[in-house]
Structures are given as structure tokens and as C-alpha cells.
Amino acid sequence: MNLLNFISQFPDEERYVLRYKSVRDSVGVICSVCKSTEHRWNQRKWLYECTKCGNRATLRSRTALHGSRLPFSYWFVAMHLITSTKNIFSALELQRQLVHKRYEPIWAMLNKLREVMGRREEEYQLTDVVELDEGFFLQLPANKKTQTRQRQLEKK
């Protein structure tokens, strides 16, 4: 998909959010407390609720976007660039393109995407941003191992 087609699919932030939600719905949500996969969507609070234990989860929680406050559009644009360009681009370049003030969140986003996509590529080739699927919705454990890995990446 070229950039013009991509942009025409997503005219505003809401469209990105809805797209993200529809893919997450189709992949499914696993409760972090009781591991149940049965959830209902609370439209008023904009949260998933486990039908078994009532535990709540945001759209981003335990996905690649966990803990990020960047707009969904940033993530989609970054994914589009990663999958559609042959050249490696830097976080600095992406920050410039997104006209974002701070470097660190952009850098962290790019690293997270490369980590998640790298894991997926071991299974099969990623061809398109629309192929956003379960690889993107890994149930990320917020454990020490992840934090250690994050620190290792930061050192590099």
C-alpha cells in the first residue's frame, strides 16, 4: 500500500483507534488476572471487562502500545514506514516527520515495533501494515525480564 492509499484509509485519529480495536477484538483479549478470554466492551468507559472476574483492560493494555501515550496514528504511520520502505529510518527522522517534541517516546515506539515485528518475522514475512494481527497483540508481561531487555536496548 502506498502512502496516499494509507492516508485515505485513516483521515483522523478516531479511524486509527477503531481499526486498532477491530483487530484487537478479532484477536481476542486475555484477562491478566484469571486468563479468561471472555470479555465485554464497556462503551461508556471505553474498556474491556472480563466477564468472569470483572477485571478491566484498556485498548492498549498488554499489547505493543502498553504504557505508550502516543496517538494510535503514530503507531500506524511507523508501522507503515517500517513495512513499506526498504530503507532503515532513524527515530530522529520519524520524530521529525511526526513533528513530535520529544525524542524518547518515538525512539521507544520504534524499538518496540522492531522487537514485535522481529518476533513475527521468525514465523512469516510481514508485508503490509493492514496485516496488523496477533503479532502486534502479544500478551506482554510487564516483568523484570522485559525491563532488563529495555535497559539493554537503551545502552545500545
E-strand spans in 51-136? 56-57
Q: Please work out the total of residues on this chain that contact Zn ion, with binding judged by CB under 5 A.
A: 8
Site for Zn ion contains 36 (CB under 5 A): yes
SS3 labels along 113-156: HHHHHHHHHCCCCCCCHHHCCCCCCCCCCCCHHHHHHHHHHHHC
Site for Zn ion contains 61 (CB under 5 A): no
Say how many C-beta atoms besides its own lie within 10 A of residue 45's C-beta.
Answer: 10
Q: Which stretch binds Zn ion (CB under 5 A): 43-51, 61-69, 77-85, 127-135?
A: 43-51
**Nearer to Zn ion (CB atom), residue 52 or residue 114:** 52
Tell which residue, 72, 70, 142, has the closest CA to residue 106.
70
Site for Zn ion contains 40 (CB under 5 A): no
> How many Cα atoms sit within 13 Å of 53 on the Cβ side?
11
Say how many C-beta atoms besides its own lie within 10 A of residue 76's C-beta.
Answer: 22
Q: Which of 17, 29, 50, 113 binds Zn ion (CB under 5 A)?
A: 50
Site for Zn ion contains 31 (CB under 5 A): yes
Q: Which of 55, 73, 83, 84 binds Zn ion (CB under 5 A)?
A: 55
Site for Zn ion contains 84 (CB under 5 A): no
Site for Zn ion contains 52 (CB under 5 A): yes
Site for Zn ion contains 34 (CB under 5 A): yes
Q: What is the residue-wise DSSP string for 31-49?
A: -TTT----EEEETTTTEEE
| Minimal distance, residue 13 CB to Zn ion, in Å | 29
Site for Zn ion contains 29 (CB under 5 A): no
Residues engaged in binding Zn ion (CB under 5 A): 31, 33-34, 36, 50, 52-53, 55
